Homo-oligomer: A and B are copies of this chain.
Amino acid sequence: MENGVAVTVIEVGPRDGLQNLSFFVETENKAALIRKLAGSGIREIQIGSFVNPRAVPQFRDMEDLVSSLGDLRSVTMTCLVPNAAGARAALRAGMRKLVYFFSVSESHNLSNVRQGREESLKGLRSVLAETAGTADAEVTVALATVFGCPFEGYLPKDEVLGWVERVASLGVGEITLCDTVGWGNPRQVEEICSSCRELFPETVFAVHFHDTRGLGLANALKAFEVGIRRFDAALGGLGGCPFAPGASGNIATEDLVFMFDGMGVSTGIRLEALLDVTSYLREIVPGVVVTSALARAGLPRPRGPQARETRASR
């Protein structure tokens, strides 16, 4: 709870959305997008990845991007780092909140980052060592395929919790539980999130849901109900294939905020301003398919002379 905000919506579109694009988004457009997101009230934004620019050319401008946003004090900016070299580059650029990631599924981790989970855990130790000398630096961990792996299926809960424990035991204060492929369902989300919160009360848990099979917001609702207060989301529902209609990516920031807003759960984000940012996204990513239902349908607005209530009765 910060400044009366009940939940923190973490915008990951600049990273998880833009990384899949086949063309480069100019640094000034990225910066403008991030500033507009901040202007709508978003307080934490994942701005990109410190990865090999040959692997992901979209992020070849990370140093310039961070530098150009140096005055943006209202927002916690985070970035992905795949290893100690990435962490070093991120710290050098001025980043202070780094997100290290690996998969709780061995085969998905091999496929995604070309190393096994034990190797990834070693990598995490290196990243922690790399940042240890920077007083205000923080490393969080995003665990992929927590709610299902495209190769192995649904992992046993104990195996998932085992990896959470190994990460937490290294002193990582925040862990993001990711439904990488949109296989999760509310009951499973309840069980895994509840167990995590019970077993690791010192750890802050965030969730990252994809809406691939339509359950993203239902899963977010359930996570909220069992005490999760930090939610990744991407403007426009980016994060799938950005030009394929319906290839859903992340839950859409607009829709998530609309849900919380309607429920009276404060996010600190102004929906009208956020929808203006969606329009800006369409400008800088021509042809992008926005899957946000709210962006498509618009805010509910009574249009009759009898208009009375613009908020749900409570």
B-binding residues in A (CB < 8 A): 106-107, 147-157, 160, 181-188, 191-192, 211-215, 217-218, 220-222, 245-248, 252, 255, 258-259, 262-264, 291-294, 296-297, 300, 302-304, 306-314
Contact = CB atoms under 8 A, between A and B. Distances in A.
B213 A255 contact: yes
Contact of A154 (B291, B292, B304, B312): B312
23 contacts: A149-B302, A149-B304, A150-B300, A152-B304, A153-B300, A153-B307, A156-B308, A182-B293, A182-B297, A182-B300, A185-B312, A186-B263, A187-B263, A187-B264, A187-B314, A211-B293, A213-B255, A214-B294, A215-B255, A218-B259, A245-B246, A246-B293, A246-B296
Contacts of A258: 185, 213-215
A93 to B, nearest CB: 35
Contacts of A187: 262-264, 312, 314
Given A149-B302, A156-B313, A221-B222, 16 more contacts: A107-B304, A151-B303, A156-B309, A182-B297, A183-B300, A185-B259, A187-B262, A187-B264, A188-B313, A213-B293, A213-B297, A214-B259, A215-B255, A215-B262, A218-B259, A248-B293
Contacts of A186: 221, 259, 262-263
Nearest to A252: B214
B154 A293 contact: no
B151 A306 contact: yes
